[in-house]
Amino acid sequence: MDNNLALLQDLERREAERRRRAGLAAWGSVGLAAIVLAVLIGAGYYQLAQVRSARKTAADEVKTLETRAAALTIQVETLQRESKRLEDDKQHYRALAGVKVVFYRAEDSDVIHSAFAKLGLDVELRAGVKTISKRADTLAFGPEVSESDCKAVAAALVTAGFPIRRIAPAQRITEARLLQIYASGKTQIDAPLYTVDRLKHEPVCRSGS
């Protein structure tokens, strides 16, 4: 009977040991599964962070490209406006190339040539022509000088400080695109000087003006 009791106790110990080992194995499996799950979750968060970072970088790059595109658009529009202005200036100067300016006092030579330096006009001093003894104050225009060309010449003179008080159609000339700068007895003594602003807004350089 003692042998049976000892055998029974041995079996109980073995069963208890088996259960203990099984419990440890179960807990080990749970722990390992938890570690694997934590690793997977960590990897998932890392990948998510990478995706978010990539999306933010892409969004920033798109914004930068949009900003550059807007700046380029502005530059293109500016260049187009400048190109049109240059083309307009070229056409205007081409038209002015057919205009001739004549003056009669050598004393006025410096200021007149300075006024027209950028316009490329044909300027001629006709010395020896009898004129009244006072400073030139009149700009006279031929019948084929356009109002815009006449105003451009007048504005250049005024800007250079030349005192223009009268603008009128030229008399007794054979050159249709001629502009004359001379002293006129018809100019009123108290006639106001022309200014660039006045040239812009008044209907000068017309027959009968």
CA nearest neighbour of 125 among 148, 144, 109, 114: 109
172 or 59, which is more confident? Answer: 59
Residue matched to tokens 């005192």: 163
pLDDT at res. 36: 80
Q: What is the mean pLDDT of residues 125-137?
A: 75
Helix (H, G, I), strand (E, B) or coil at 192: coil
Domains in the chain: boundaries: 1-69, 98-201
Cα separation of 148 and 205, whole Å? 8
pTM of the model: 0.53
- Let me know the angle formed at the C-alpha of 134 by 152 and 105, rounded to the nearest 5 degrees: 60
Which of 89-98, 145-154, 176-185, 194-203 is least confident?
89-98
How many other C-beta atoms can be found within 10 angstroms of the C-beta atom of residue 113? 15
**What is the length of the chain?**
209
Cα separation of 86 and 166, whole Å? 31
Question: What is the Cα 50 distance to its own chain's centre?
Answer: 40
Which DSSP string corresponds to 20-71?
A: HHHHHHHHHHHHHHHHHHHHHHHHHHHHHHHHHHHHHHHHHHHHHHHHHHHH
What confidence tier does 69 reach under pLDDT thresholds 50, 70, 90?
confident
- Let me know the angle formed at the C-alpha of 35 by 33 and 38, rounded to the nearest 5 degrees: 110
